[in-house]
Structure 1
Amino acid sequence: MLNDLIDKRKTILAESEQHKERRNELNALASQYARERNELNNQTRQFVEEAQQHKELRDKSNKDVSTLKDQRNELNEKANVLFEELEEYKKEHGNIKKGQVKDIQRQIEFLEFKQQTEAMSADKERDLVEKIKQMKQQVREQEAELEQNKEIRGKLQDARDLRKAASDLHIKVTESADLAQQHHDLMVECYRKADKSREEADARHRAFVEAQESADAEHKSFIECQKELRDYDKVISGVRTKTKKVKTVKENKSVRMEAEKIFNSFKSGEKLTTDDLLLLQRSKLI
């Protein structure tokens, strides 16, 4: 019986060590998942902050576009007024051309706006730029004709200056619009990265919870094994104590019988050895 108990205790002890080892492995794995989750969450926050910065820069560039457009349009309107006066002068002097400066200039403005706002192929954009160039050349030719008249030369120069300033502002409008689009694209990319890292962080968190729960289950099994070991230790200790007592009783009985035999021999007149005397003392017969 005692050997069976000892064998069963060894089995429970081995099982306990397995649960302990597996628990420690799962706790280490859970810690790793937690670290990775936290790193991904920090990364997500960084992406969101970066996206917010690009959003602010995009909004600022869009605001600049709006302001510059208003300024450009105001200069173009002033230039148009002067060109209208020049057209009236041409009408009065009977020198009217089919493509009037005002109309051509408005077409140029329309085409420039189309170039800025519409997506087109590189070939189509080159054709559009070439057409704008040709129309600007027409404007210069008509303006050159008007310059021959000293009375309107100053007004023509003012109109040119206004148009040049408007053209410069148009370049700034295009640059600000491009910059706004760049920041918008970067913002979208940052949000995309943030979504991806957030999904990965959520996956790590789920893995962390699963590993932690498994570790807790292994720890619970380990504790149960420890309890069983303590119970086996008590039982084994009790069996050993009982066995020892039984053995002692048997030994005492045997010693008593041997001592009584020696004592009877002593009474019959036989001599006793030192060992015989010690045995009689142990059995309390003398």
Structure 2
Amino acid sequence: MLTELIDKRKTMLTDSEQHKEKRNELNALASTHARERNQLNGQTRECVDEAQKHKELRDENNKAVQQIKVERNQLNEKANVLFEEIDSYKKEHGAISNSRGIKEIQKRIDKLEMDQQTRVMNTDKERELIDQIKQLKHQIKEQEEELEQNKEIHTKLQEAREFRRAASELHATVTEKAELAQQHHDLMVECYRKADKSREAADEEHRKFVEAQEAADAEHNQFIACQKELRDYDKVIGGIRKKGKKTKVNKEQKAVRQEAEQVFQQFRAGEKLTTDDILLLQRAKLI
């Protein structure tokens, strides 16, 4: 029975070590997934923060576009008023017959420039639009050159040109700000895309972390159960060994007692005792 218990204890000890080793491996794996998850969460936060910065810059540029557009439109309106007066003069004096007025041409230019700024088009289409704008501006220039010969409207023409020049500069700024706003918008979208990707990866690492941690906990519980059974085996085996040792001592004591009684009888019969005989009688507490 004792041998069987010792063998079972050895098997249990092996199982305990295996569960302990597996638990440690799974805890290490869980820690790896936790580090990866935390790193990815950090990347997500960085991407979101960067996206927010681009969003703010986009909104600032869009706000500037709206403000500058108001100023540009005001300047264009002032120029239009003057060009209307010039066109009225042309009609009255037949300066340029059967041709569109400067204001009408400029409105067409403004529309084309707005299309260039806001519409998505291929390279050929954009080049065609730019050519149209150039031709219309050339028409305005031709009319202005003819009108400049008239001293009556020379001052108005110069003033209108100045308003239009200033409006054109603001339009260039509008285009620049709009392009910047679009660039920051595209960067913002890209940052959010990266944030979504790293967030998904972090969620996957967290799932693996939980899975490994739960498996490690299960192995730990198995290890604890094995340790409890080992303690139970130790108690039983220790009890059996103690009982066997006590039985052996009792047998030895009984044999010594029997031998000592024989020597004691010899002593009573008058036989001479040796030193060993005396020591034997002392051990048996007969003297």
Q: 1:107 maps to which residue?
A: 108
Residue in 2 that maps onto 1:148: 149
In structure 2, C-alpha distance between the alignment counterparts of 1:187 and 1:87, rounded to whole Å:
48
Report what 1:60 is aligned to: 60
Alpha-carbon distance in structure 2 between the residues aligned to 1:219 and 1:227: 12
Gaps of 5+ in 2: none
Task: Provide the C-alpha distance between the structure 2 equivalents of 1:57 and 1:137, rounded to a whole number of angstroms.
Answer: 37
In structure 2, what is the Cα distance between the partners aligned to 1:23 and 1:274? 65
Partner of 1:245: 246
Which residue of structure 1 lines up, in the alignment, with residue 17 of structure 2?
Answer: 17
Q: Which moved more, 1:2-11 or 1:227-236?
A: 2-11
Match of 1:77 in 2: 77
Q: Does 1:190 align with 2:181?
A: no
Determine the C-alpha separation between the residues in 1 that align with 2:8 and 2:90: 118
Q: Which deviates more from structure 2 when the two are superposed, residues 249-258 or residues 187-196?
A: 249-258
TM-score by length of 2: 0.94
**Residue type of the partner of 1:158?**
E
1:39 aligns with 2:39: yes
* Counterpart residue type for residue 203 of structure 2: D
Aligned residue number for residue 2 of structure 2: 2
Distance 2:98 2:67 in 1: 35
Aligned residues: 286
User: What is the CA deviation profile of residues 13-34 of structure 1, one whole-angstrom value per residue up to 9, with x for unaligned ones?
Assistant: 1211222222222222222222
Deviations 1:223-254 (A, max 9, x none): 11111111111111110111011111221222
Q: What TM-score results when the alignment is normalised by the length of structure 1? A: 0.94
Identity rate of aligned residues, in percent? 69
User: 1:120 aligns to what?
Assistant: 121
Query: CA shift at 1:276, angstroms?
Result: 2.4
Q: Aligned partner of 2:166: which letter?
A: A
Q: 2:107 corresponds to which letter in structure 1?
A: R
The 5 A counterparts of 1:220-235 are: 220-235=221-236
Are 2:136 and 1:135 aligned?
yes
Q: Deviations over 1:99-134 (max 9, x none)?
A: 322221111111111111111111211111111111
2:20 aligned counterpart, secondary structure? helix
C-alpha displacement of 1:51: 1.1
**Range that drifts further, 274-283 or 51-60:** 274-283
Counterpart mapping for 1:164-179 below 5 A: 164-179=165-180
The whole-number CA distance in structure 1 between the counterparts of 2:142 and 2:84 is 16
List gaps (5 residues or longer) in structure 1: none
Amino acid at match of 1:170: H
Q: Secondary structure at the match of 2:99?
A: coil
Spell out, residue by residue over 1:44-89, the C-alpha distance to the aligned partner (whole angstroms, 9 max, x if none).
Answer: 1221111111111111111111111111111111111111111111
1:48 aligns with 2:48: yes
Distance 1:64 1:156 in 2: 30
SS at match of 1:251: helix
Matched AA of 2:144: E
Separation of aligned partners in 1, 2:49 and 2:204: 22
CA distance in 1, matches of 2:51, 2:20: 46
Name the stretch that deviates more: 187-196 or 99-108. 99-108
Query: 1:191-222: per-residue Cα shift (whole Å, max 9, x none)?
Result: 11111111122112222222221221111111
SS at match of 2:94: coil
C-alpha separation in 1, matches of 2:66 and 2:117: 13
Q: In structure 2, the residue corresponding to 1:207 is in which secondary structure?
A: helix
Q: CA deviation at 1:273?
A: 2.7
Residue in 2 that maps onto 1:214: 215
Return the alpha-carbon distance in structure 2 between the equivalents of residues 236 and 92 of structure 1. 128
**Using the alignment, how far apart are the partners of 1:63 and 1:151 within structure 2?**
41
In structure 1, distance between residues paired with 2:257 and 2:111: 131
Q: More displaced, 95-104 or 204-213?
A: 95-104
Give the Cα separation in 1 of the matches to 2:9 and 2:172. Answer: 88
Worse-matched range after superposition: 21-30 or 234-243: 21-30
CA distance in 1, matches of 2:75, 2:265: 146
Q: Distance in 2 between matches of 1:154 and 1:209?
A: 81
